[in-house]
Structure 1
């Protein structure tokens, strides 16, 4: 009898906590309207209307903020516009939703390598190698992008000729 009040309170707490999740969508269920908006954005992106496509992707995220495809679309458009840092950020948002998407990890790593962030790209490559467990096309593609970026940095460094200057004192 003396345990009845705490047991009743605890059971009421479990009842309230479990009922809060009823009616909530599962994480993998994306709003169909949001998916339709992404499809419209992809069509505009293919047509070369990048600013309009970006607007459709943003609208898709307003409808359903868990739409990973919208983040990927925004990243691709940003990369096409030359905004690599912004694209990397959008890829990070997509990876927050699904951290083990090897295509997104590879795409983000390639942008990092092209921007000169070789350490971060190397971390993405290591992550890909763990996820793939054997060689996959994404890890090979990222590895070659990192090697190209290293060669580019080496060529740029060797192209700079250092000329000593002598100052005359009066």
Structure 2
């Protein structure tokens, strides 16, 4: 009898957690859908930071919609934030471990970071899930064969050393 309230609250918490994890095959909240379309148009216009802002707002409105994580990851990759993109892909994979787009996207982000061996593991996982004729596996194989792209040096990264001279 004394464990009744604790058991009830624990079962409610586990039920809520389980229901959030299973809700990715439904349509997003209408407000989230509006923010997602805003983010996709910003991404198409070449404004990844504006897209990230819209996708993060959509994620706040509807945290159970897994495709938002994929959109966030794509925007983060275009912004040059591969580590953040990998985290979003892994969040999507926690919700849906066999999401081919998330496995492929994570592999491509790993290639962009220079982690070719880890990307090859993703490729082998993709091939075991969908075979050799899968579009996601082909994209990842192409990215691996291309290899990591050289980093572009920005002007802010090369600042002259301050030298003090006496007059």
What TM-score, normalized to structure 1?
Answer: 0.68
CA contact (8 A) 1:35 1:67 kept: no
Partner of 1:27: 23
CA RMSD of aligned residues (A): 3.0
In structure 2, the partner of 1:49 is 47
Alignment of 1:15-94 (within 5 A): 17=11, 27-28=23-24, 29=26, 30-94=28-92
- Tell me by how many angstroms 1:49 deviates: 2.6
Q: Does the 8 Å CA contact 2:49/2:79 hold for their aligned counterparts? A: no
Query: TM-score, normalised on structure 2?
Result: 0.69
Cα contact 1:34–1:67 (8 A) shared by 2: no
Residues paired across the two proteins, number: 140
Question: Which is higher, the Rg of structure 1 or of structure 2?
Answer: 1
Alpha-carbon offset, residue 116 of structure 1: 1.2
- Pick aligned residue for 2:93 from 83, 92, 95: 95
- Cα distance change of structure 1 residues 82 and 21 upon mapping to structure 2, 3 Å threshold: closer
Distance 1:113 1:50 in 2: 20
Structure 2 portions without partners, runs of 5+: 151-167
- What's 1:159 paired with? none
Equivalent of 2:126 in 125, 128, 133: 128
* Alignment match, 2:110: 112
2:135 alignment partner, one of 137, 152, 155: 137
Contact 1:33 1:63 in 2 (8 A): yes
Consecutive aligned runs of 4 or more in structure 1 exceeding 3 Å deviation:
none
Q: Which has the higher contact order (CA 8 A, sep 6+)?
A: 2
Structure 2 distance, partners of 1:49, 1:141, is 24
Partners in 2 of 1:32 and 1:95 — Cα distance? 24
| Unmatched segments (≥5 aa) in structure 1 | 154-170
> How far does residue 131 in structure 1 lie from its aligned partner after superposition?
0.8
Measure, in 2, the Cα distance between the counterparts of 1:136 and 1:77.
Answer: 23
Give the superposition deviation at 1:141.
Answer: 2.2
